[in-house]
Amino acid sequence: MTDLERRSDRSPVPADWTYAPAPESTDIVRLQERYGLYVGGTWIDTKEHFTTISPRDESPLAEVGQASEADVQGAVAAAREAFGAWSKLPGSERAKYLFRIARILAERSREFAVLESLNGGKPIKESRDVDLPLAAAHFFYYAGWADKLEYAYPNRSAKPLGVAGQIIPWNFPLLMLAWKIAPALAAGNTVVLKPAETTPLTALLFCDVVRQAELPPGVVNIVTGDGSTGAALVESDVDKIAFTGSTEVGKAIQRRLAGTGKKLTLELGGKAANIVFDDCALDQAVEGIVNGIYFNQGHVCCAGSRLFVQESIYEPVVEKLKKRMTTLRVGDPLDKNTDVGAINSRMQLEKIEELVAAGKEEGAEIYQPPCRLPEKGYWFAPTVFTNVAQSYRIAQEEIFGPVLSVLTFRTPDEAVEKANNTPYGLSAGVWTEKGSRILWMAERLRAGVVWANTFNRFDPTSPFGGYKESGFGREGGLHGMEPYLDFS
């Protein structure tokens, strides 16, 4: 008998079957006390700074620069200077740098994943298994197109635009950076990117990847700050703005840029319908519902936040869903077993609480599984509302948190009508075993992405973007490179 077998003979039977803590070590991350702005390949300091914290315990992580209008103009000037040489490089040379970035991201993925979870609050298993692989995949994918623009857009002469100003939100900080920077660089542009105020750290770590990849100075510039820094970037001498964030700010940017000749793409909010027909694989659909709304604490623009269940299966679906919700582990984002991490900021938590209170007041029935939330930090238990009317705020407004509203329908026509009854149009999900019904629904749903028998799947080759108040322009695939090119 081996030692191993002998020892296992004596192992005690566990007292209960809950998971033991499985904390991911943070040792791999080396934070600086203070960060400046990354401009023209060097770090420059700012007059003002702000503290970035971890939403899991509100502990301060680092001081980050608050870029002023002049700082932003300096970054745009550095990008403009770099544009000449960068845009003239053969595509195969630009590709080389993008491949290097992809490789370095893959090699340093654990470090990035830990930092993403620390600064943003998302579970480590999501930053490790979703954000990082996808971010690297975006650079790999667009690297492949950099020397093939004439094949990507045959009979059209594709030229880079110049300097792209890019403003990103806090829900997928590094992934949104990759979605923005990879196609812009592949197309021959240079960029100035502003990360969200609450999650600047992976963008700042990315500057070290840029250094390692020996990207020419000024091709990528990172300016940190609050909304005023974003507004300064919109005002600056850029050729294009790519924005992901709230519909409200997106509209303000669109108003500001109207008539200026600057190009604009907007990826805004959503209130996706996840539609479950009575012939679907029920357990699989319940997993899809859970993934659709509780993935990344529901901080997902395409989250399946409105669940439409065919009336005949309403009861089993709700029952299975509630049962499944009791098994979700809410807690420390850095625990490898955590399913639902911390809410990104106090502001976002207050917004979720306000909308949930409105749901209760309007008469919806709330269910939250029993779970012990940590004392420090920002937390919200996974929540489902039943008895929801279409007119309730929780069925109309983007909550951007782990809160699901359940509604019902009888016929496919009714499902389409109800699903499209929203100012948004970013994504939708359909659960049915009938291929013909999937196609019928997909044709009629006014949403940029329609998932069938799955939800929240992303791929760099696939375009993503919205209709109506969810914005315009696409990211991902060839469609995602087009807004960075001039075909005139």
Check binding of 351 to ligand NDP (CB under 6 A): yes
Position among 245, 333, 402, 473 found at the interface with ligand NDP (CB under 6 A): 245
Distances in whole angstroms, Cα of residue 124 to Cα of each of 22, 108, 121, 337, 441: 11, 15, 9, 9, 35
The Cα 391–Cα 196 span in angstroms is 32
Which segment (32-40, 137-145, 189-197, 274-282) binds ligand NDP by CB under 6 A? Answer: 189-197
Considering only 36, 41, 218, 230, the residue that binds ligand NDP (CB under 6 A) is 230
Tell me 226's DSSP state: S
Query: Which region, left, alpha or beta, applies to residue 297 given φ > 0 means left and ψ of -120 to 50 means alpha?
Result: left
State yes or no: residue 169 binds ligand NDP (CB under 6 A): yes
Question: CA–CA separation, 419 vs 442, rounded Å?
Answer: 11
Q: Taking the CA of residue 448 as centre, how many other CA atoms within 13 Å lie in the half-sphere pointing to its CB?
A: 30
Considering only the stretches 190-198, 272-280, 323-331, 406-414, report the one whose residues sit in contact with ligand NDP under the rule CB under 6 A.
Answer: 190-198
Site for ligand NDP in 22-61 (CB under 6 A): none
Q: What's the rounded Cα separation, in Å, for the pair 263 and 242?
A: 8
Residue nearest ligand NDP by beta-carbon distance: 230
Tokens 């937390």, residue located: 379
* Spatial distance between the Cα atoms of 436 and 255, rounded to a whole number of angstroms: 41
Distance in Å, CB of 41 to ligand NDP, minimum? 23
Chain positions 370 to 399 lying near ligand NDP, rule: CB under 6 A, are 398
Let me know if 267 is a catalytic residue: yes
Q: Shortest Cβ distance from residue 478 to ligand NDP (Å)? A: 22
234 touching ligand NDP, by CB under 6 A: yes
CA separation for the pair 141, 149 (Å, rounded): 13
Catalytic residue among 207, 280, 301, 302: 301
In sequence order, which ranges of 213-368 are alpha helices (DSSP H)?
A: 227-235, 247-257, 282-294, 314-325, 346-362
**Distance between CA 124 and CA 132 in Å, rounded?**
10
Shortest CB 430 distance to ligand NDP, Å = 22
Residue 231 binds ligand NDP (CB under 6 A):
yes
Please report how close the Cβ of residue 235 comes to ligand NDP at its closest, in angstroms: 9
By CB under 6 A, is residue 244 in contact with ligand NDP?
A: yes
- Check residue 226 for interaction with ligand NDP (CB under 6 A): yes
Quote the DSSP letter at residue 433: S
Asked if 476 interacts with ligand NDP (CB under 6 A), we say: no
301 is catalytic: yes
d(C-alpha 139, C-alpha 480), whole Å: 13
DSSP 245: S
Q: Mask 266-285, x = binds ligand NDP (CB under 6 A)? A: --xx----------------
Catalytic positions: 267, 301
| Binding residues vs ligand NDP (CB under 6 A) | 167-171, 194, 196-197, 226-227, 230-231, 234, 244-246, 249, 252-253, 268-269, 301, 348, 351, 398, 400
